[in-house]
Amino acid sequence: MITTVTAQSDKDITMTANGVQSYIKDYLRSLRALLSDVEPAEVERVVDILWECYQNGCRLVLCGNGGSAATASHLVCDFQKNVYLESGRAWEVVALTDSPSLLTAWGNDTEYANVFAGQARTWLREGDVLIAISGSGNSPNVLAAVDVANAVGATSIGWSGFGGGKLAERARVNVIVSSPNMQMIEDIHMVLGHMVYSALRDRIKGLIKE
C-alpha cells in the first residue's frame, strides 16, 4: 500500500533575485502544498497498524540515516515516553540509530549495510512494526532492516521521498513525499510522525472513536 505526497513543482526551491524573504515564502508555499497532499486515509492506516501493535503488546522499531536517524530517535520520545505518561502502560519502542557502539561494531565487523539489520534480528518478532525512514528510499542499511522485518513477520512501514525508491517496493506500507528537496522530505516525515503519534495518543485516551 502506497500513499504519495506530491509537490506542486518538480524543481528544488532556489534563491531568487527578490531575496531571502521571497525564498522563505516559496519554501513555505511548497511545504504547505506537500502537507495538503497528505492522504488522511493512508495516515489512518499507519495509526491503525500502530494501535494494533500497542494493543497486542508488540514492539515498535525505527531506523534511518542522517536527518532520518534524528527523526527516528526523536519519535522514540513520543511513542515510548509520552505514550506511557499518557496511558500508564509501557510500550517497547526502540530506534536502531541510538547505540554508537552497536552501529560501529556492525559496520566495522561486517559492513555499513548491516548496521540496522543486525540489530533488527534481535528486536523484531512476528507482529512487531518497523518504521523505516529514508529520504531517497534507497539506503542499503534501511532496506536490509526492512528485509529482516518482512522475513520475521513484522509489519514494515516505509517513509521515503522522491519516487519512493527501492523502499517503496519492499515495505508493506508506504508514505512517499514526492519532492526532490531533502529538507522538505524530512520536514514532512517529522510532521507525519507527530501526526501519527498524536492520533494514537488520543485514541488510547478514548478521545478518538474507533
Q: How far apart are CA 136 and CA 209, in angstroms?
A: 35
pTM: predicted TM-score of the whole model, two decimal places: 0.90
How is the chain split among helix, strand and coil, in percent rounded to 5?
55, 15, 30
Mean pLDDT across 45-70:
97
Q: What is the CA radius of gyration of the chain?
A: 17
pLDDT digits over 133-191, tens only? 999 999 999 999 999 999 999 999 999 999 999 999 999 999 999 899 999 999 999 99
Q: Residue 28, Cβ neighbours under 10 Å: how many? A: 11
Predicted confidence band of residue 210 (pLDDT cuts 50, 70, 90): low
Computed from CA positions of residues 11, 17, 21, 22, in that sequence, does the dihedral angle turn out positive or negative?
negative
Residue reference for cell 512476528: 126
Supply the pLDDT for residue 7: 47
Q: What are the domain boundaries of the chain?
A: 2-9+24-204
Q: Quickly list H helices, 110-206.
A: 117-123, 140-152, 167-170, 182-204
pLDDT digits over 58-105, tens only? 999 999 999 999 999 999 999 999 999 999 999 999 999 999 999 999
Q: Which fold has domain 2-9+24-204?
A: Rossmann fold (3.40.50)
Supply the pLDDT for residue 9: 45
CB of 184 closer than 8 Å to CB of 178: no
